[in-house]
Amino acid sequence: MKRKSIYRILAILVTATILFSACTKDTADVTLDPKVTTTQSLGITSSTATVVGFVVAEGDGFNEKGVCYNTATAPTVANTKVAYTGQTKTATFNVTLTGLTFATKYYARAYATGPNGTIYGEESTFTTLPVVPTLTTAAITAITSFTATGGGNATKDGGDSITARGFSFG
């Protein structure tokens, strides 16, 4: 009886050893091709806009990420760019573009630069808001019973041409 028990234990140990040695862990790292995407433009004013980028895969890593923009299609880092300066461990990054011209269409793309060059996300467009027209009114002079002299000037056109000028009173 003891001999059968010893053989059973040996058989279980041999089977377990074979099963565990057959299961090996693959330690090779999987590195995806680098990819970045442009997700949205938000907070658009007459002179600023925030563009959101997202790192889908880092590949061998990035030295810099940010947003490049231009008034023509397909902007690159050779045009105007703003590098992201926030926390580097996050996949999503927001970049605020400043000094933009009012009532102007812009093209923007997220970018990332790494050891193998620069990659770009999809192109996104936005139009900055117009500026409210600014008017000045001159003092009313030469007031009589039936007439008066006055005037004014449009100092900012708000991004559109001025088609009529006049003076109203009531």
* pLDDT value of position 76: 96
In DSSP terms, which residues pair with 11 in a beta bridge? Answer: none
Q: What is the pLDDT of residues 18-27, one digit of tens each?
A: 766 666 666 5
pTM for this entry: 0.67
3-state secondary structure of 167: coil
- Cα–Cα distance for residue pair 71/102, rounded to 1 Å: 12
Contact by Cβ (8 Å): 113, 36: no
Domains of the chain in start order, with CATH, are 35-127 (2.60.40.10), 131-165 (no CATH)
Contact by Cβ (8 Å): 86, 93: yes
Q: Write out the two tokens for 48.
A: 């600023």
3-state secondary structure of 15: helix
Which one-letter amino acid corresponds to residue 55? V
- Cα–Cα distance for residue pair 79/103, rounded to 1 Å: 20
Which of residues 4 and 139 earns the better pLDDT score? 139
Which of residues 87 and 40 earns the better pLDDT score? 40
* pLDDT value of position 104: 94
- Cα–Cα distance for residue pair 140/22, rounded to 1 Å: 99
Of 72, 69, 71, which is closest to residue 111 (Cα–Cα)? 69
* pLDDT value of position 51: 96
- Cα–Cα distance for residue pair 30/89, rounded to 1 Å: 19
Please give the torsion angle defined by the CA atoms of residues 153, 156, 160 and 164, in that order, rounded to the nearest 10 degrees.
Answer: -10
Mean pLDDT of 20-44: 77
Mean pLDDT of 151-158: 77
Residue 70 predicted with pLDDT over 80:
yes
Residue 81 predicted with pLDDT over 90:
yes
Residue 48 predicted with pLDDT over 70:
yes
Which one-letter amino acid corresponds to residue 80? T
Mean pLDDT of 38-60: 91
Looking at every residue in the chain, the average pLDDT score rounds to: 84
pLDDT band at 30 (very low <50, low <70, confident <90, very high): low
Q: Write out the two tokens for 109.
A: 């793309």
Which one-letter amino acid corresponds to residue 10? L
- Cα–Cα distance for residue pair 49/69, rounded to 1 Å: 11
